[in-house]
Chain A
Amino acid sequence: MPITTTKSAFWAGVRDGAPFVFVAGPFALLFGVLATEAGLNVFEVMTFSLVVIAGAAQFTALQVMQNEAPTVVVILSALAVNLRVAMYSAALTPYLGRAPLWQRVFAAYLLVDQSYALSHAKFDAEPELTVPQRMAYYFGTCLPVLIFWFGLSYLGAALGTQLPQDIPLDFALPIAFLSMVAPMVRTLPHLIAAVVAVIVGLLAVSVPYSLGLIIAGAAGMMAGAQAELMLKGRAP
């Protein structure tokens, strides 16, 4: 069905965004449970999810806080995990950059993997969309994910302490991190970045203030970027 009005653009976004509640929802639930286990109350969990809206970054902050790292390292590590949203912001700017500032403020707040991926594909495929139609589609893709993100964060926080004690929840975070990263390893440079980061991360584990994580992340990024350059140089 072609998009003809801003309203139909919004609902097209809602429809396209709906399946992604199955991706975001379980992570929100897990965050609620683990944050509660770590000692956060429901209000703190909900504020965290409402203010940050970024699964991987929230899990990272939770883990690094439990490592007793200094606050600035907690924030830097989590922001580093979230750097990709800056890339999304850059990629959407040619399509949404001319919208009113207040709309761009809300769009920025709601920028997550799903809203970026769906909208960028849509705007690319249908260049005739007007800026208001694009914004409406974008906000449409955000709506279902947001409802489930907040709703299941709350459910997780409410369930949190009532879960049976013999579930090995200590390992839920590593499994969540690895499951998120595995599908991202699409090319050889991605693999090199990950392997270098793991090796440096293991070697630097006793560096004070949890700075080993930052060092390992930087090393992995540089290794990936270098590998990409070298592979490109060799290609015809």
Chain B
Amino acid sequence: MTDGMTLWTVIIGLGVGSFLLRFTFLGFVGDRPLPDWLLRHLRYTAVAILPALAAPLVVYSGENGSVDIARVVAALATLGVGIWTRNVFAAIGAGAVTLIILIYAI
């Protein structure tokens, strides 16, 4: 999928970047409070990026970017059970079981 050079750049870049994200406040900022607007945006990072990443993989999941019904339904089952139970594993189980059943049924 990728050459070794790219992979190692990603691993090292991500390692250094993640460490800096983790260390910035504990290490450099100390007890100084952060501006509200910054905290307000940080609160929504994961909840924005992860769905944005998943959405095209779900919607354009078929051959040549068409819609694959089994995968769309499995994604909805994952989301629905996840929101309902608040449990990561119940959500994964629901998605996986739905997908496997639909793949064999269709």
User: Does A79 interact with chain B (Cβ within 8 Å)?
Assistant: yes
Q: Say which residue of A78, A85, A178 sits within 8 Å of B79 (CB atoms).
A: A178
* A145 → chain B closest CB, angstroms: 15
Expressed in whole angstroms, the Cα–Cα distance for A21 and B82 within the complex equals 19
Contact B95–A175 (Cβ < 8 Å): yes
Which of A26, A177, A183 lies in contact with B53, CB distance below 8 A?
A177
Name the one of A52, A197, A213 contacting B15, with C-beta atoms under 8 angstroms: A52
Q: Quick check: A185 and B83 within 8 Å, CB to CB?
A: yes
State which of A61, A82, A174, A219 has its C-beta within 8 Å of the C-beta of B10. Answer: A61
Question: Considering the chains assembled together, what is the distance between the CA atoms of A127 and B80 in angstroms?
Answer: 39
Q: Is A52 within 8 A of B86, CB to CB?
A: no
Would B34 and A90 count as touching, CB distance under 8 A? yes
In the complex, A155 has a CB within 8 A of chain B: no
**Contact string against A for B residues 49-81, beta-carbon threshold 8 Å, 1 for contact and 0 otherwise:** 111111111111100000000010011001101
Interface band, chain B: 35 or more
Q: Is the CB of A97 within 8 A of B31?
A: yes
Question: Are B88 and A23 in contact (CB-based, < 8 A)?
Answer: yes
A210 to chain B, nearest CB (A): 10
- The contact string, 1 if C-beta is below 8 Å from chain B, for chain A 160-189, is 000000001001111111111111110001
Distance to closest chain A CB from B80 (angstroms)? 8
Decide if A86 is an interface residue (CB 8 Å cutoff): yes
Q: Quick check: B26 and A108 within 8 Å, CB to CB?
A: yes
Residue pair B75, A174 in contact (C-beta under 8 Å): yes
In A34-52, the 8 Å CB interface with B consists of 38-40, 44, 47-48, 51-52
A159 within 8 A of B: no
Interface pair B22/A86, CB less than 8 Å apart: yes
Complex partner residue of B41 from A96, A107, A221, CB under 8 angstroms: A221
A–B Cβ pairs within 8 angstroms, 8 of them: A39-B2, A85-B22, A86-B42, A90-B29, A174-B58, A177-B50, A189-B44, A197-B55
Interface residues, chain B, with chain A CB atoms under 8 Å away? 1-2, 6-7, 9-15, 17-19, 21-27, 29-31, 34, 37, 39-61, 71, 74-75, 78-79, 81-83, 86-89, 91-92, 95-96, 99-100, 103
